[in-house]
Amino acid sequence: MEEMKMNVRPTGNRGNWAKKAPAVAELGKKPPQALDLEEAVLGALMLEKDALTTVIDILRPTSFYKEAHQRIFKAILALFDKSEPIDILTVTHELRENGELELAGGAYYVTQLTTRVNSAANIEYHARIITENSIKRDLISISSEVLSSAFEDTTDVFELLDKTEAKLYEVSESNIRKNFDDMRSLMHQAIKELEEKRKQTDGLTGVPSGMTALDRVTSGWQKSDLIILAARPAMGKTAFVLSCLRNAAVDFKKGVAIFSLEMSSLQLVNRLISSEAELDSEKIKKGSLEDYEWAQLNHKISKLTEAPIFIDDTPGLSIRELRTKCRRLKAQYDIQMIIIDYLQLMSGNAEGKGGGNREQEIASISRAMKMLAKELNVPVIALSQLSRAVETRGGDKRPQLSDLRESGSIEQDADMVLFLYRPEYYGITEDEMGNPTAGVGEVIIAKHRNGSLENVQLKFIGKYTKFTNLDSDFGGDGGFNALPNSSFDAETPGAIRLGSRMNDGSQGGGGFPASGFDDEPPF
């Protein structure tokens, strides 16, 4: 008998604590509860029509301990959603229509709730106490599950840590809501940010990409923005974000986290080594380096070794795991930018099985990424594939917003949508102005919520798998250290921008420099 008592623990989903009470009672303790306050709050909601607006952001049906109270509160919310009056008669009628009147205690019990309180004067204070008890019950449930799992020999301890952290975060997110801000405090914050931006003589207000022409348009990757970088396979998406990552981490000392679902951590590091030391990526892959190349490698990668770069190559990463890991990295290392390579390889939940079709799952992932960017106040760059419609289209095969694969919600959620385009990939050797396209990559800004739409020309060095400024006169390393302290002006050499043709379909705007490009390293 004693052994049976020791194995009793609360189980089940949150909100079913009325059923768990006997098991907990056997241990000599009751779950945290405030039944008198629950009755008072429900009574107040049926007495005053505006009372619900005071507590609707604080309470949820599962906040109530008693199951009958949960059903009554659900009926009140249903009436509120239908813009119908809330009183004893309407709540009773709603419960009767749903077949839950007897489960809620009957008409007499609902009527008696209004006698527990005279007004809704203290309803917010009472509601917060109810919520606090609900949080305590959730924590007890989580702790019980952790305790039970921790005693099992088959438990994966790291998986248990992730699940526990995810559940704790879920409790925090569902109960702690951000309130509105008044205009005075917002204005003070806006003026303070403007003063800080004024001190930035280089014009960068976000995380720099290190690509001068691109930073002129964006002023750096902005906080809380979701940036989608899309292209067809083999266009150089990973090479581009690795170049941006390297510039931000090495030149500007910004902590950057990259989640690679396609390539392993070592493959990414090898790419970084190739671009940093300017050694042929094929030689890096095969390890066939000459003695002088080893010396060059050791000399060049010292800065890269100390850079605040964090790489996670977990395959099939779920959005919940991503959020948990990013929050941890932000708290421990104060990361300033997050990169996901790439969006379509993610899953919508921890089990890796999306609810509904794939389009809905991608939509939920993109929304979650935008929420993550806002929560951590950092830019999130997510790589995305384009549909095959690009390949079947005639002409220069420039990508369009309609080519975003699997979900139109990606376009809606993103603050910026960038397309990476290299004409030489399609065998186009000259642009419409007759300029050579060899070694030229184009970043097409197709959507920019807080700025202009433009096309930015960059230099792509294939054997080093990196993008640099179009003109290599900025520095001996091909533009990686370009202008960290100089201002952006209209005459910046090597920065060529074209008016975007994404919206109006025009064919004009700008041109390439007259000189050609080769694959020689810009020493």
On whether both 162 and 242 belong to a single domain, the answer is: no
- Give dist(CA 252, CA 241) in Å, integer: 15
pTM: 0.61
Task: Indicate which residues carry an active-site annotation.
Answer: 262
In angstroms, how far is CA 57 from the centroid of its own chain? Answer: 24
* Token pair 């099939």: residue: 316
Please report whether residue 152 resides in a domain.
yes
Note the pLDDT of residue 41. Answer: 92
On whether both 156 and 267 belong to a single domain, the answer is: no
Note the pLDDT of residue 405. Answer: 65
On whether both 153 and 220 belong to a single domain, the answer is: no
Please report whether residue 7 resides in a domain.
no
- Give dist(CA 63, CA 14) in Å, integer: 9
- Give dist(CA 376, CA 333) in Å, integer: 12
- Give dist(CA 90, CA 85) in Å, integer: 7
On whether both 161 and 234 belong to a single domain, the answer is: no
Please report whether residue 508 resides in a domain.
no
Residue 1 pLDDT exceeds 90: no
* Secondary structure of 243-270 in HEC code, one letter for each residue: HHHHHHHHHCCCCEEEEECCCCHHHHHH
Residue 290 pLDDT exceeds 60: yes
On whether both 127 and 223 belong to a single domain, the answer is: no
User: Residue 418 in contact with residue 229, Cβ under 8 Å?
Assistant: yes
Which of 343, 304, 336 lies closest to 322, judged by CA? 343
Name the domain boundary from 428, 445, 469.
469
Residue 499 pLDDT exceeds 60: no
For residue 70, give the CATH number of its domain.
Answer: 1.10.860.10
Strands (E), 226-303: 226-231, 256-260
Tally of domains in the chain: 2
On whether both 226 and 120 belong to a single domain, the answer is: no
On whether both 93 and 218 belong to a single domain, the answer is: no
Residue 513 pLDDT exceeds 50: no
Name the domain boundary from 156, 175, 194.
175
Please report whether residue 250 resides in a domain.
yes
Residue 380 pLDDT exceeds 90: yes
SS3 of 444, please? Answer: strand
On whether both 59 and 123 belong to a single domain, the answer is: yes
Backbone angles phi, psi at 227, to 5 degrees: -110, 120
Q: What percent of the chain has pLDDT over 70?
A: 79
Please report whether residue 455 resides in a domain.
yes
The segment with the largest mean pLDDT, out of 146-150, 205-209, 459-463, 517-521, is: 146-150
Helices 319-333 and 358-376: crossing angle in degrees, nearest 10, is 10
Question: pLDDT for 28-38, tens place per residue?
Answer: 688 899 999 99
Note the pLDDT of residue 352. Answer: 42
On whether both 461 and 374 belong to a single domain, the answer is: yes
Amino acid identity of residue 428, one-letter, is: I
Residue 520 pLDDT exceeds 80: no
Please report whether residue 409 resides in a domain.
yes
SS3 of 380, please? Answer: strand
Question: pLDDT for 422-475, tens place per residue?
Answer: 888 777 777 777 777 788 888 888 888 888 888 888 888 877 888 888 764 333
Name the domain boundary from 469, 496, 513.
469
On whether both 326 and 242 belong to a single domain, the answer is: yes
What residue numbers bound the domain in which 221 lies? Answer: 202-348+358-469
- Give dist(CA 99, CA 94) in Å, integer: 9
On whether both 128 and 228 belong to a single domain, the answer is: no
**Better-predicted residue by pLDDT, 78 or 26:** 78
- Give dist(CA 281, CA 275) in Å, integer: 8
* Token pair 């184009």: residue: 442
Residue 44 pLDDT exceeds 80: yes
Which of 216, 167, 149 lies closest to 13, judged by CA? 167
Question: pLDDT for 191-240, tens place per residue?
Answer: 877 777 677 666 678 888 888 888 888 888 888 899 988 888 878 888 88
For residue 329, give the CATH number of its domain.
Answer: 3.40.50.300
| Residue burial 326-337, b: 16+ Cβ < 10 Å; e: rest | beebbeeeebbb
Please report whether residue 264 resides in a domain.
yes
On whether both 278 and 340 belong to a single domain, the answer is: yes
Residue 161 pLDDT exceeds 90: no
Residue 116 pLDDT exceeds 70: yes
